[in-house]
């Protein structure tokens, strides 16, 4: 049963990430996704100390607003300060991440909390924290509940607003001309990235989120020109990575999140070789 919950959590994270990641790739903004996934840390810490627990809606609000702040700051330094994008991203996320680590260790007195809670947050503990029904029987792990809700939100959002996202991604001038605000949809998408990141943060760690945001979508991008096909392929690759990663980790007796990333990387390698060799 534990294996089922772990794989399910991984699959849900992979699903949300693959969907928003596809748009990040097309908008050439994957590193902003990477930045957000690190920069939400202070938001989580502050929300934790405001609300007193990790289980509240405050957490989503805190981290979500930090995600939007990151997006905004990167744009702000780039446009107003004429700082090149790569440097703008680098300065912003490291600064916020450092702030987060300092806050954590200030409250907890533990100087090395960063690696424990952020870099490879352990998906293996997912089944420990269950949600119980009124009669006291465990229903499902809390992580499954949260990542499941986020997956549904992301999937619904993309299904409902497919046209707007498509237009603002590929032809922002045309979108603006027919009255679809590029920047509104830009920030909405970044909001989704933050949401996905936060929901996945403590169960699987930032690095798995980044890998899942980019690798399945990039593999799919190599194989097709069609956005719909790309989304479906990305989902498929994401699910396969979650599934295969779990069993790789069992064989090696190693980190499950890391193994899922490794499989995602392996899938990308195959797609890459297929493309390069066919040329």
Kindly tell me which of 154 and 248 has the beta carbon lying closer to another protein: 248
Q: Is 224 in the site for another protein (CB under 8 A)?
A: no
132: which strand partners?
138
Shortest Å distance, C-beta 87 to another protein: 5
Q: How many residues bind another protein (CB under 8 A)?
A: 67
Q: How far is CA 183 from CA 28, 172, 175, 180, in A?
A: 15, 9, 11, 9
- Phi then psi for residue 141, to 5 deg, are -65, 150
Q: Is 82 in the site for another protein (CB under 8 A)?
A: yes
Distance of CA 36 to the CA centre of its chain: 9
Q: Which residue has the tokens 């699903």?
A: 15
Q: Which of 43, 87, 77, 79 is nearest to 61 (CA)?
A: 43
Q: Which of 85, 228, 255, 230 is nearest to 93 (CA)?
A: 85
Q: Is 105 in the site for another protein (CB under 8 A)?
A: yes
Stretch that binds another protein, among 1-9, 89-97, 127-135, 167-175 (CB under 8 A): 89-97
Q: Is 149 in the site for another protein (CB under 8 A)?
A: no
Binds another protein (CB under 8 A): choice among 19, 47, 74, 118: 118
Q: Is 95 in the site for another protein (CB under 8 A)?
A: yes
Interaction residues for another protein, span 10-69 (CB under 8 A): 25, 28-31, 33-34, 38
Shortest Å distance, C-beta 138 to another protein: 27
- Interatomic CA distance for residues 273 and 267, integer angstroms: 10
- Interatomic CA distance for residues 61 and 87, integer angstroms: 27
Kindly tell me which of 40 and 148 has the beta carbon lying closer to another protein: 40
- Sorted by sequence, the CB contacts under 8 Å of residue 235 that are 6+ apart come out as 14, 15, 18, 19, 216
Shortest Å distance, C-beta 177 to another protein: 25
Kindly tell me which of 14 and 257 has the beta carbon lying closer to another protein: 257
Binding mask 169-208 for another protein (x = CB under 8 A): --------------------------------------xx
């Amino acid at each position: 049963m534990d294996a089922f919950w772990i794989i399910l959590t991984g699959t849900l994270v992979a699903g949300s990430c693959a969907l928003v990641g596809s748009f990040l790739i097309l908008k050439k903004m994957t590193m902003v996704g990477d930045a957000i996934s690190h920069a939400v840390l202070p938001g989580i810490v502050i929300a934790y100390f405001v609300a007193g627990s990790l289980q509240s809606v405050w957490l989503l609000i805190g981290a979500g607003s930090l995600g939007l702040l990151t997006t905004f700051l990167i744009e702000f330094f780039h446009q107003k300060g004429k700082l090149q994008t790569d440097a703008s991203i680098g300065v912003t996320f490291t600064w916020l991440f450092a702030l987060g680590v300092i806050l954590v260790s200030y409250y907890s007195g533990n100087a090395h909390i960063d690696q424990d809670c952020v870099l490879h947050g352990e998906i293996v503990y997912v089944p420990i924290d269950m949600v119980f029904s009124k009669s006291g029987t465990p229903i499902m792990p809390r992580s499954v509940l949260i990542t499941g809700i986020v997956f549904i939100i992301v999937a619904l959002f993309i299904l409902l607003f497919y046209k707007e996202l498509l237009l603002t991604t590929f032809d922002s001038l045309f979108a603006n001309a027919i009255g679809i605000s590029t920047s509104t949809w830009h920030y909405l998408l970044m909001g989704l990235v933050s949401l996905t990141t936060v929901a996945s943060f403590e169960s699987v760690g930032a690095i798995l989120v980044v890998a899942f945001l980019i690798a399945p979508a990039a593999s799919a991008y190599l194989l097709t020109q069609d956005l719909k096909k790309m989304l479906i392929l990305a989902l498929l690759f994401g699910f396969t990575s979650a599934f295969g990663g779990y069993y790789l980790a069992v064989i090696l007796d190693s980190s499950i999140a890391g193994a899922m990333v490794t499989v995602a990387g392996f899938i990308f390698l195959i797609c890459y070789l297929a493309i390069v060799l066919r040329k």
